[in-house]
Amino acid sequence: MQIKGKVTSFDIAHLAGVSQSTVSRALRGSPLVNEETRRRIQAAVDELNYKVDKNASSLRAKHTGTLALLLFEDPTADESHINPFFLSMLGSITRASAQRGYDLLISFQQFSHDWHADYADSKKSDGIILLGYGDYLAIRDKLQKLVNQGTRCVRWGAVLADQPDISVGCDNLSGGHAVTTHFMEQGCRRIAFLGDASSHYPEFFDRYRGHIRALNDAGLEAEPLLQVNAESTERSGYDALETLLARGITFDAVFAASDLIAIGAMRAMDDHGLKVPDDVLLAGFDDIPMASFVNPPLTTVLQDTNLAGEILVDNLLSLIRGQPAESAMLPAKLIVRKSSLRGREDKSEK
């Protein structure tokens, strides 16, 4: 292959049959490039006598003064594709970044693509904050690769013993325990749980585990048919409640793993002639703004998004500066409203 003028990494990519970003990763020794691809790229480098531009590499290594916030796209009724819970956290992350002298670059990411490699290679930012990520088991390997290639990254999500990255999350276990304990204080004994109760969604799983622990503390056993998987959307909550009703089992309360699930379940109950809280008590999790405006106002668990945003930014800046950073778990606070109170006044502090 004959090249006129100076050989570039794009020429290497063309000859090797790969993308230019893959060439950059391979020449940098990234573990994201498999051995066969690496050999093809090296053969192209040798054939074209390509020399790495050290000055350009040095320039790319400098700090940008920018942090990246990568949002996972969620299906939403208003087509915003942003889970309402993340909106307040987005604001707190933006403020915390500005207060610390950093710009914030916000981007949607389709996590089925090679975002974990391409975004790090683009050098648009000094580090990444991940907000939402879907199935944790599906993304865990990509988080590990981010860490392996030296990308500074922090994540809002569950704090797990074997996680490869730094995360900031809520004490979902105690939050789930608080909701179910509250239901039992209202006289409920057959409490349904709507939400994926598996390691694929560790936040929901911890909320479910807290629910089970509260039942066991009261001498009650969990009934498997009272648990229905659901994702954090109103549609999923509606469908989960329909599934619960189709099973033909009795329940006197519903603990939804998120407010969106709870709002969807409330709508399904209304369609079936069930009234909240007269017939069934209901609670969610997250305390999104909509929770206090639905009818009846929704009992939920508050996660401190303002504090979370500050800790996420501070942890990321510690990583950027080569300083120690640790995962953090924030307390959960039960907010009691009319949806879980029979014939009593709303106890919400809001």
Query: Are 163 and 210 in a shared domain?
Result: no
Query: Are 163 and 177 in a shared domain?
Result: no
Q: Look up residue 272 and give its two tokens.
A: 């079936």
Domain that holds residue 112: 66-170+304-330
Q: Is residue 145 part of a domain?
A: yes
| pLDDT value of residue 149 | 79
Measure the CA–CA gap between 167 and 327, rounded to whole angstroms.
Answer: 5
Tens-place pLDDT, residues 276-326: 999 999 999 999 999 999 999 999 999 999 999 999 999 999 999 989 999
Query: Are 186 and 298 in a shared domain?
Result: yes
Region 258-273: mean pLDDT is: 97
118, pLDDT greater than 50: yes
Measure the CA–CA gap between 226 and 54, rounded to whole angstroms.
Answer: 62
Q: Is residue 3 part of a domain?
A: no
Question: Is the model more confident about 125 or about 154?
Answer: 154
| pLDDT value of residue 350 | 39
Query: Are 274 and 207 in a shared domain?
Result: yes
Question: Is the model more confident about 144 or about 27?
Answer: 144
Q: Which residue, 261, 264, 260, 265, is CA-closest to 290? A: 260
| pLDDT value of residue 203 | 96
Q: Is residue 347 part of a domain?
A: no
Contact predicate 262/284, CB 8 Å = yes
Measure the CA–CA gap between 335 and 350, rounded to whole angstroms.
Answer: 8
| pLDDT value of residue 6 | 76
Tens-place pLDDT, residues 81-96: 578 888 889 999 999 9
| pLDDT value of residue 349 | 43
- Tell me, what DSSP letter sits at residue 347? -
Region 181-192: mean pLDDT is: 97
Measure the CA–CA gap between 265 and 244, rounded to whole angstroms.
Answer: 10
Report the number of secondary-structure helices (H) and strands (E) in the chain. Answer: 12, 12
Query: Are 165 and 177 in a shared domain?
Result: no
Q: Is residue 191 part of a domain?
A: yes
Read off the CATH number of the domain in which 261 is found.
3.40.50.2300
Q: Is residue 318 part of a domain?
A: yes
Question: pLDDT tier at 59 (50, 70, 90 boundaries)?
Answer: very low
| pLDDT value of residue 52 | 67
Region 185-195: mean pLDDT is: 97
| pLDDT value of residue 119 | 57
Region 56-73: mean pLDDT is: 70
Region 156-163: mean pLDDT is: 91
Question: pLDDT tier at 133 (50, 70, 90 boundaries)?
Answer: confident
The residues, any chain, with a CB within 8 Å of residue 35's CB and separated by 6 or more, are none
Measure the CA–CA gap between 24 and 148, rounded to whole angstroms.
Answer: 16
| pLDDT value of residue 24 | 76
Q: E-assigned strands of the chain?
A: 66-72, 103-109, 127-131, 153-156, 166-170, 191-194, 227-228, 253-256, 281-283, 300-303, 328-330, 332-335
| pLDDT value of residue 70 | 86
Q: Look up residue 21 and give its two tokens.
A: 């970003």
Q: Is residue 274 part of a domain?
A: yes
| pLDDT value of residue 74 | 59
Region 152-157: mean pLDDT is: 93
Place of tokens 């206090």: 292
| pLDDT value of residue 294 | 97
Query: Are 160 and 178 in a shared domain?
Result: no
Domain count along the chain: 3
